[in-house]
Amino acid sequence: MCGIVGYVGGKNACEIIVQGLERLEYRGYDSAGIAVCEKGVFKTVKTVGKVAKLKELVGADGLKGNVGIGHTRWATHGGVTTANAHPHTDEKHSVVLVHNGIIENYKELRDELVARNVHFSSETDTEVAAQLLARLYDGEPVKALCRLFKKCRGAFAFVLVFGDRPNELYCVRKGAPLVVALGNGEAYCASDVPAIVEHADKVIFLNEGEICRLSASGAEFWDLDGVAHQRRTVSVDVDAAMIDKAGYPHFMLKEINEQGSVLRRALFGRTASDLIDLSGEWGITPEKARAFKRLDLVACGTSFYAATVAQRVLEKYLKVDIRVDIASEYRYRPLRAGGDTMAVFVSQSGETLDTLEALRHVKALGAYTVAATNAPNSSIAREVDDVIRLNAGIEIGVAATKTFTAQMAVLILAGLYLAKLRGELPGADEERLAEAMKDLPYKVEQTLLLKDVIRSLARKFGTARDFLFLGRGVSYPVAMEGALKLKEISYVHAEAYAAGEMKHGPIALLDEELPVVVVAPADELLEKTLSNVEETRARKAPVIIVTTENVPDVNDVAGTIKVPATEAELTPFLTVLPLQIFAYESALLRGCDIDQPRNLAKSVTVE
């Protein structure tokens, strides 16, 4: 959600921090601010709106200094105002602090401080932390931070400076991610690697309940009992080129067009000679694979739809109880999970708080846990028993596209490999699917050439205020993902239903003003889906069909998009692409902020 950047060293802190905040804009935010130490005094600039506006204000103010912290805020406690923007301080300016996350007991703490005649200048839980820390601080930073940590409930990350120690940054992590990096006589910290990747290729991801002090001479670490310990750096596979638009007008369009290469990376080393083999990265044995009676796929948002596609494919081959659940629901259920349960947590960022808490919940029950993630050093990846990497490359656009494709590929491959180890995957099906998956990258690239057809349909329905998406079987979660994409970046109300459910309510909405997008590839449910198309046409609703080349033309529809034919189980890799492009073109026509849609964040690190 919020973005944090900090710097201490010999360079212009302001330039480094603003550049870092620009690299974190994909996280979603509504205001921004920076505090820089100049001759022992911290100067703060804050604004509602984009980092570009902050950059203008900072330039006009002539802010200079070698130590500073910056922040992009996604509002939780208090409205979108300059006063609520970070950084925050106490009344005496003895602490300057930025914060990502939520302090759940902030009201209780605030009431205690108000009773002690503390005056607040904002509505935020962040200022509560700053005011409280100032009163806990007695000249010993680590001691004060340990006490603050134990008083605050929730998931959060703090980066702060004490007024009497202006050449030191302090970082505290509980739930929300923080990463630090060291240079030659300088140090950096941030919410995510892209903010600092241009300055360091080796980093340290803070552990849960860890305190770090950064200075020009290096980094020191403590646990919450104030006991010092050592940490080692790890290499990161992100470079500056990955966070460049490469000539595209938007990151989302770039990432849509990367999906052929993303699939190649997802398949590389996992499919060979018409076989599916993950033994090089996943050490699960046939004996262990056969012991499982239940497979839980747990995720949020787009990742949930990718997991649902995988469930629909795998239930044909895996003879175990396969369940897909939303992480925020899963974690509060009275689960019947244990040693015979494999729980797979699907998260692009590896930092989604609901998914992380769901993982901790089921792991405590004795389940074997696996992460399918794009971030091998993330919190979720560090806490599971095994990790299967997406290898999609960093995704900047808030609306997920290429990671949806990578998640489907990895989950299906892992599930088929599990079925193979259990002796449940027929050799003929393994060969058929492995061969078809190797052809998918080329078919993805063929499908992307349909952009002109899709653009014309987006223009035709550019003024529609509502859309209905329909699909059956593996195409139902594709319809859900298509509706989500349209909502996310075009701000158009869109609903998705299993096509057979249309008569149970949604059919009442049908008229000439409601476009209906039907995902209907060649599969065993095609005939039934086409019957739903006829019911839709009979009520004069315009129909857009996304189908495969081997399906005969359907008459009297508003538009048809035909993708290359493939095995029925694998059609989601192709049918989702026109829906992504349609959402993109619709958002472009409506003048929406495509890469940073309102109210959304790339990594949801609060409940």
The per-residue pLDDT for 176 is: 83
Cα–Cα distance, 391 to 542 (Å, whole number): 39
On the CB side of 75, CA atoms within 13 Å amount to 16
Cα–Cα distance, 350 to 139 (Å, whole number): 36
Point out the catalytic residue in the list 254, 420, 451, 602: 602
Chain-centre distance for alpha carbon 224: 29
Closest Cα to residue 30, out of 61, 58, 71?
A: 71
The per-residue pLDDT for 375 is: 87
Buried b (16+ CB within 10 A) or exposed e, 518-527: bbbbbbebbe
List 158's β-bridge partners, or say none: 99, 172
Closest Cα to residue 78, out of 58, 50, 48?
A: 48
Tokens of 266: 């997802």
List 297's β-bridge partners, or say none: 324, 344
Cα–Cα distance, 417 to 289 (Å, whole number): 10
Cα–Cα distance, 492 to 583 (Å, whole number): 9
Classify residue 208 as exposed, middle or buried by CB count within 10 Å of its CB (0-12, 13-18, 19+). middle
Q: Identify the sign of the CA torsion 589, 493, 545, 573.
A: positive
The per-residue pLDDT for 592 is: 93
Neighbours of 495 (CB within 10 A): 16
What is the residue extent of each domain of the chain?
3-242, 250-446, 451-588
Amino acid at the residue 522: A
Q: H or E element: which one contains 96?
A: strand 95-103
Contact by Cβ (8 Å): 298, 327: yes
What region does 141 belong to: left with phi over 0, alpha with psi -120 to 50, or beta? alpha
Cα–Cα distance, 585 to 477 (Å, whole number): 21
Closest Cα to residue 375, out of 194, 154, 576, 198?
A: 194
Amino acid at the residue 242: M
Is 562 considered catalytic here? Answer: no
Contact by Cβ (8 Å): 328, 300: yes
Cα–Cα distance, 475 to 478 (Å, whole number): 5
Classify residue 197 as exposed, middle or buried by CB count within 10 Å of its CB (0-12, 13-18, 19+). buried
The 3-class SS string of 124-171 reads CHHHHHHHHHHHHCCCCHHHHHHHHHHHCCEEEEEEEEECCCCCCEEE
Closest Cα to residue 412, out of 307, 519, 285, 273?
A: 307
Tokens of 411: 């989950």
Cα–Cα distance, 99 to 171 (Å, whole number): 10
Chain-centre distance for alpha carbon 457: 29
Is 152 considered catalytic here? Answer: no
What are φ and ψ of residue 370, in 5° steps?
-135, 140
* Residue 166: cis peptide before it, omega within 30 degrees of 0: no
Common-topology check for domains 3-242 and 451-588:
no
Amino acid at the residue 73: R
Helices (H) and strands (E) in the chain, counts: 18, 27
Chain-centre distance for alpha carbon 50: 20
Tokens of 473: 């079987």
Longest C-alpha distance within the chain, in Å? Answer: 78
Low-confidence ranges of the chain (pLDDT < 70): 1, 61, 238-242, 602-607
Residue holding tokens 């349960």? Answer: 341
Closest Cα to residue 268, out of 382, 403, 394, 434?
A: 434
CATH number for the domain whose boundaries are 250-446: 3.40.50.10490
- Cα-based torsion angle of the residue sequence 391, 393, 394, 399 in order, rounded to the nearest 10 degrees: -80
| SS3 state of residue 511 | coil
Closest Cα to residue 156, out of 170, 179, 169, 173?
A: 173
Provide DSSP, 24-60. Answer: TGGG--SEEEEEEEETTEEEEEEEES-HHHHHHHHHH
The per-residue pLDDT for 603 is: 62
Top CATH class of 451-588 equals: alpha beta
Classify residue 534 as exposed, middle or buried by CB count within 10 Å of its CB (0-12, 13-18, 19+). exposed
CATH number for the domain whose boundaries are 3-242: 3.60.20.10
Q: H or E element: which one contains 278?
A: none
Binning the chain into helix, strand and coil, the percentages to the nearest 5 are: 40, 25, 35
List 298's β-bridge partners, or say none: 325, 345
Point out the catalytic residue in the list 2, 14, 189, 212: 2
